[in-house]
Structure 1
């Protein structure tokens, strides 16, 4: 299995392109069939095997162009001679380094100096120096690719590692021998010193450019994954405003993953029990012959989800992301009705039906933000929706249960608990703080089927995942 193609697939995965083991094998067959000589044909073939959506196709094309900037010469080494003749390797693309390019006079000066300098003669006879003297871009690209693989360049993650990998690659390519010759020429005061230094500087510049391209290719996806991991585990109230667009995109990404996992699947349903009385009655007109059969069918009520969010100052940030998460999953979640409260409660479902999610959330915070009164808000909820709660209703409450020493209205909470399928309470505070100060959390726990500390996206994703499983 060609290692370079495997590395390319790893790059795709780091950029959120899903590639299964079976698709990897398909890509290998495509590459074997098409060969590596025609860049456009290879891109089209691999794209058909690996990119499954328009978005993935866009990412694939970007990664392909970046990955194969250095050319396909390194792939040609893995083909047999007959395939190479039919599909000659593409010429490697290299940055413009005309300023560093040594002249023919530099090569001639070095050849003259090598006649009296055995160490310089050994350098001039090395494969690396021959490639530099001949300006053989393919040979240099192959050498850099092999040195990069040997030094683990594909694992680069931070820009501070670029110098480290550049040095490793130069050592692997034999630059140390070239440095030794420079030191000897410097000691001897040989005028060919400047000529050899120009070749050394050219080599270093090309290796640095190679490392820069690999960093942009490999580190971008890993850095994005690292940032997403950090944001998903950071308290939502601690995320700076400048990162909110990333958080919104991360929520949508999580929602897409959960939607794909819990998408409704077609099922084969049994017809149920034969409705014999109805079948026989309809068969009377046919002398009792049961030409038409009728089946008993039980109509199942659709599940519904009621989300009650505390949007007071201390909890507003968490409510915002919960609502954003829920409304990003409308295709797979049951019917969602949303309620917001601080000192009083109101239904905000219409706002989400009429406005984009982000705009609706801003309007909710503006309209219902303020000091918290759980007792009064629960009474408003009872007036609005208590009669609509059935055994197929899931109630999610997001709040810190801090009631400013008011009446918690446990009677309403118990009524919600008895009528609903399940009551889930998400508290952004640490469990250690649930019974401190004016918190009524421990009292509310007696009227909940499930409760959890929920203050970051990872916890929220886990709760919503369990919710989707329970409402299927």
Structure 2
């Protein structure tokens, strides 16, 4: 990282560069105001640029107000303030086999020793090995010239298999047992750090070769709240789950404010007219009835088939985080047959094992009695026939699903019965609106009966729930 010398020109150039970095964070969806940018400049004056790690933490402390945005911040930081070129390993010292190729097993042995050594990171030996991995194992020739691949480098090293060796080496230094969970956790953490170092070095090399803007298109992940439910992998779903608690707190405060504002009570006409006698019969002061606030009921009917199970699990977890805002929450799930599953989630509402409750529900509840494909019509008809008493004029119905009915009978009359029975009824669809009614989707037809909203990611879902759920 280039350190400005203190001259006016270089200081101005650094300020422009810092401002560009902040603009890039804003383009990625991170809210950074002018005051935060000023604080970042002041933090830089105090910390200086001599230690890149301190500089990174100083910017993170002043520019971020959501810890879930840290992954995006770090990726953008690495592109705008890249580390200097890592010390290259001595070519003559690179372990090779008889044919001159890199000896993978020897490299893995060296990595295990370095990762177990607390001093290896500080003296540059680990950095040199990371440089070797990217140079020798992650490099390949693409149609546009030399390129580097984190996946290629790590797949050949397979660092996950080094955990046992690292743990044993760490334990040997203190006379312990390498199978001890403490050492294995520490070893796993160092392997994760190695992965991060290889990813960062690969991004740096690619940015040098292709340019920062092009690398940013694929190297910077989406904010957790902007990850699409239907395309999220296991790692992205873990990021999504970390957004549930802060999102629930925000929504709860918004709903409480709405409740306070809406519970003013209706105008008491009789008392208002009596009071108007003092003003010649003109009702200047409106007298309202004393409000009788009550929390509404909420019924959730959700498709838990494979295509939308991630969306349903996230939404259910969010709803349960908000359960104190409702008098009662009842959950009904279906694939092709509907069943009440409230008990499964009531048991996990106070802990972090929501995924286990979802798995237990999928395994034990009576959700499939036909062909195992989503059948909204059969589920809606079953709910109308067996569970209609769960709905009331003082509560809300929330349906979750993509409305892809696999060409079964849609049973529009059953959905109409549910909507008529509820005070509020909404449908949240995780697909883009432009895809509704494509293929086997009948979303637009259902939307003529019930108000349907697009909820592709956590940000959209939060806005919809905050605006729609009754208070």
TM (normalized to structure 1)? 0.49
Highest Rg: 1 or 2? Answer: 1
